[in-house]
């Protein structure tokens, strides 16, 4: 009996030692918030805009980073995720960019009680890192934006619609490199959106 107890004691001590030697896996959290570097434009539209919902299609509607491995296979990285859902993160980034751009008087969030003249919404069709064989490893983001009159009673109230896609090569396979590439891709999308809205501003209804 004493021998059995001794063997059990040694076994459990070994388990404890192994658990101490192996540190717990940590989860890293990332945020995409590109900063607009150019000077603010003169306000072209003397009305404010509401940044509405940006929906994200599956399987990209997750806090986890998503990797594309082949034509059908996608994989989620449960040890690297965004600080919030991509829908909220991208809506905040878009609103901040438009505020810094100065095309409109200002931009507010979707939960604000102010009644805006315009409403900007969007759909994210792609948001992944491309690791397919034969492809340069790249962060891929595709967003379609819709600008409408906030008065939903008007017919054909969508006054601007365009889809944007950017691919940004990653320098290595680390999550930090992937997040940086995604942020650069998003910055180029927002810069293109700003340019298009600025060009079209004169055609937007003013009442």
Specify which residues 138 forms β-bridges with: 130, 169
Q: Would you place residue 15 in the very low, low, confident or very high pLDDT band (cuts 50, 70, 90)?
A: very low
- CA nearest to 50, candidates 91, 90, 102: 91
The number of angstroms, rounded, from the C-alpha of 33 to the middle of its chain's C-alpha atoms is: 8
Longest dimension (CA), the chain: 91
Tens of pLDDT along 133-170? Answer: 999 999 999 999 999 987 655 666 899 999 999 999 99
Instruction: Centre a 10 Å sphere on the Cβ of residue 57 and count the other Cβ atoms it contains.
Output: 12
Percentage of the chain lying above the pLDDT 90 cut: 69
Q: Which stretch of DSSP H or E encloses residue 146?
A: strand 138-149
pTM of the model: 0.85
Structure tokens at 105: 């008087």
Question: Which residue is listed with tokens 């070994």?
Answer: 14
Question: For residue 154, what pLDDT is reported?
Answer: 61
Tens of pLDDT along 17-38? Answer: 444 455 567 899 999 999 998 8
- Which burial class, exposed, middle or buried, applies to 202 when counting CB atoms under 10 A from its CB (0-12, 13-18, 19+)? exposed
Instruction: Centre a 10 Å sphere on the Cβ of residue 52 and count the other Cβ atoms it contains.
Output: 21
Length of the chain: 207
5 or 70: which carries more pLDDT confidence?
A: 70
Tens of pLDDT along 184-197? Answer: 999 999 999 999 99
Question: For residue 12, what pLDDT is reported?
Answer: 44
pLDDT, mean over the chain: 87
Question: For residue 110, what pLDDT is reported?
Answer: 85
Question: For residue 4, what pLDDT is reported?
Answer: 47
DSSP output for 160-180? EEEEEEEEEE-SSSSHHHHHH
| Domain 30-203 bears CATH identifier 3.40.50.10610 | yes
Tens of pLDDT along 89-131? Answer: 999 999 999 999 999 998 999 887 778 889 999 999 999 999 9
Report d(CA 193, CA 145) in Å as an integer. Answer: 8
Question: For residue 101, what pLDDT is reported?
Answer: 93
Structure tokens at 91: 């809506």
Question: For residue 79, what pLDDT is reported?
Answer: 97
Question: For residue 203, what pLDDT is reported?
Answer: 85
Q: Are 140 and 128 in contact (CB under 8 A)?
A: yes
Question: For residue 87, what pLDDT is reported?
Answer: 97
């Amino acid at each position: 009996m004493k021998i059995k107890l001794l063997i059990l004691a040694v076994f459990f001590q070994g388990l404890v030692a192994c658990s101490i030697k192996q540190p717990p896996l940590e989860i890293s959290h990332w945020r995409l918030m590109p900063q607009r570097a150019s000077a603010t434009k003169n306000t072209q539209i003397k009305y404010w805009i509401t940044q509405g919902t940006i929906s994200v299609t599956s399987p990209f509607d997750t806090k986890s980073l998503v990797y594309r491995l082949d034509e059908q296979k996608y994989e989620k990285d449960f040890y690297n995720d965004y600080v919030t859902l991509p829908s909220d993160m991208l809506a905040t980034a878009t609103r901040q960019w438009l505020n810094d751009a100065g095309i409109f008087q200002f931009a507010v969030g979707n939960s604000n009680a102010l009644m805006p003249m315009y409403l900007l919404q969007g759909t994210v069709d792609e948001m992944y890192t491309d690791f397919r064989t034969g492809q340069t490893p790249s962060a891929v983001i595709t967003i379609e934006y819709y600008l409408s009159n906030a008065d939903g009673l008007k017919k054909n109230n969508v006054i601007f619609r365009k889809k944007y896609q950017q691919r940004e090569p990653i320098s290595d396979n680390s999550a930090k490199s992937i997040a940086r590439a995604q942020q650069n891709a998003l910055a180029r999308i927002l810069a293109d959106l700003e340019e298009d809205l600025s060009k079209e501003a004169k055609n937007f209804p003013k009442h």
